[in-house]
Structure 1
Amino acid sequence: MRGRVLGVDARTGDGLVAGDDGRRYTFQPADWASRGEPAIGIEVDFDADDRRALSIYPIPVATPPVAAQPASPLRNDRNKYVAAVIAFLLGSLGIHRFYLGRTGSGIAMLVLTCTVVGLLITGPWAFIDMIRYLIMSDEEFAARYRRD
């Protein structure tokens, strides 16, 4: 039968169990068949003999599932606003790309700036980068431009 421990005398170890049948059963320390001591409120399984609970075992309690922890925000040592200002001021030279760790495209922008046609390409490219940085969420920016 199953039940719940209602009380335990700290001096003697005698206790009382409320059975699922609505009746109360007494027990002594010798009736406790598990390691540890009985505690008030725990669910138990026991054999009933008239008004006595025998061979009392605590019912293992399943731990509730742990709620998923929210993902910790990504850490980034780069700031999207700093990158946007650099793109605005020195964008055609590709300095903002070097700041973000994109050295390949930074070198390409720097080399293209040496020609008039390349300058016409890198100017709008840097302006578009600046706009992208400003409208990008902080999480997306951190994920895209983090250092590994």
Structure 2
Amino acid sequence: MRGQVLGVDRTSGEGQISGEDGHRYSFRPGDWSGDKGPAVGARVDFATEGARALRIFRLPDSDTASVAHRPVAANDRNKYVAALLAFFLGTLGIHRFYLGRNGTGVLMIVISITFVGLIVTGLWALIDTVRYLIMSDAEFEHRYARRYAG
């Protein structure tokens, strides 16, 4: 049977394959044959035993297919929320904390202690607001997507 790798646990090496028959099959690291192991999105050929995939081989075209058809991870950060935070609470750097830029968020709070600092962080926040609004969604995703260690 043929299918596609849905996911792989990096620690244990176990994962799931979606078969062309519409069912999902689990696998373990020892179920793989050949020199290439599992990769999310890879097209595979495998035998089944119940709900388990055995003797799994990656198909030759799976290297390009896994890159081209890999789903884009959803970003839990929104550029419009960041722009609103920058506009209304920007002098305190709240938008920077929201985007995971804690160092510059703390810097903005420290600078805001003085009157001149408020002017500087106000301009900084206004520039950030405009930048977020004109930035493409793809660029925002690239810069501010949360990176999970796995």
Indicate the residue corresponding to 1:127 in structure 2: 126
User: Gaps spanning 5+ residues in structure 2: where?
Assistant: 1-58
Q: What are the superposed Cα offsets for residues 40-87 of structure 1, whole Å, 9 maximum, x if unpaired? A: xxxxxxxxxxxxxxxxxxxxxxx9967752564342100000000000
Distance 2:103 2:136 in 1: 24
Percent of aligned pairs with the same amino acid: 59
Hey, what's the Cα distance between the residues in 1 that align with 2:97 and 2:133?
Answer: 18
Q: What are structure 1's unaligned runs of at least 5 residues? A: 1-62
C-alpha RMSD of matched pairs (Å): 1.9
Q: If each structure's helix is expressed as a fraction of its own residues, which one has the higher value?
A: 2
* CA distance in 2: counterparts of 1:122 and 1:132, whole angstroms: 15
Match of 2:94 in 1: 95
The aligned counterpart of 1:38 is none
Tell me how many residue pairs correspond in the alignment.
86
Q: TM-score by structure 1 length?
A: 0.53
Which residue in the other structure is 2:136 paired with? 137
Q: What is the TM-score with the length of structure 2 in the denominator? A: 0.52
Please state how far the C-alpha of 1:147 moved relative to its aligned partner. 1.1
Q: Which amino acid aligns with 2:129?
A: M
Task: Name the structure 2 match of 1:110.
Answer: 109
